[in-house]
């Protein structure tokens, strides 16, 4: 095991970027079905094609449930757990490496928060530029963000001035929830700081 070696920092960075990006794609694959997003959107097709080889293996023994692609969640959990195992091995963690398996669960919850927050931010920024309306990215993030923004908009409808504070309120709400939920959840599972996302 490497302990603070010369190569450990860039190696950790590459592992976190690589596994983090693919885990995000797996969670987005789950959200495509959960939010009934357009599967024919070019970006949706990219997500489907990139995750298909892995999900094909998981679907052999993990069925869907009520239209939900459960295999995507299990694959995301496995990817996060493997990432955790590699990180703990590199930093020379003294405890049981298999503890990375349950630790992956709160990490996924945190990633879901991040996906919704970034989706709303991207949607809000793209709404400032008329030329981006109808762009595949704008359409996809709008469908994902609507899961959060629609309930907020029903409670706080746009004012007659046309100013819509829904994205800001939704982001603030998600950030506050993340601050309230994640620290005790990480503490409950005993997740080391290096694995907290």
How far is C-alpha 1 from the geometric centre of its chain's CA atoms? 30
3-state SS, residue 36: coil
- For the chain, the straight-line distance linking the first and the last C-alpha, in angstroms and rounded, comes to 23
Helix (H, G, I), strand (E, B) or coil at 68: strand
- Its pTM stands at 0.89
Residues in the chain: 197
For 170, half-sphere exposure in the C-beta direction (CA atoms, 13 angstrom radius) is: 28
pLDDT in tens, the chain (197 residues): 444 566 788 899 999 999 999 999 999 999 999 998 989 999 999 999 999 999 999 988 888 777 788 999 999 999 999 999 998 888 877 766 678 889 999 999 999 999 999 999 999 999 888 888 889 999 999 999 999 999 998 888 766 556 778 899 999 999 999 999 999 999 999 888 888 87
CA distance 57 to 197: 27
Distance CA 120, CA 144 (A): 8
């Amino acid at each position: 095991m490497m302990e603070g070696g010369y190569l450990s920092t860039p190696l950790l960075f590459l592992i976190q970027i690589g596994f983090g990006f693919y885990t995000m794609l797996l969670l987005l694959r789950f959200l495509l079905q959960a939010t009934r997003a357009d599967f024919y959107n070019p970006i949706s097709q990219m997500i489907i094609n990139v995750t298909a080889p892995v999900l094909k293996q998981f679907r052999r023994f993990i069925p869907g449930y009520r239209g939900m692609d459960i295999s995507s969640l299990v694959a995301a959990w496995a990817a996060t757990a493997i990432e955790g195992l590699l990180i703990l091995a590199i930093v020379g963690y003294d405890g049981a490496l298999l503890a990375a398996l349950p630790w992956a669960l709160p990490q996924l919850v945190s990633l879901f928060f991040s996906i919704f927050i970034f989706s709303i931010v991207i949607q809000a920024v793209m709404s400032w530029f008329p030329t981006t309306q109808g762009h595949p990215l704008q359409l996809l993030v709008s469908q994902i963000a609507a899961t959060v923004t629609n309930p907020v908009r029903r409670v706080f409808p746009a004012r007659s001035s046309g100013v819509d504070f829904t994205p800001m309120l939704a982001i603030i709400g998600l950030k506050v929830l993340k601050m309230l939920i994640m620290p005790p959840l990480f503490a409950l599972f005993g997740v080391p700081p290096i694995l907290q996302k």
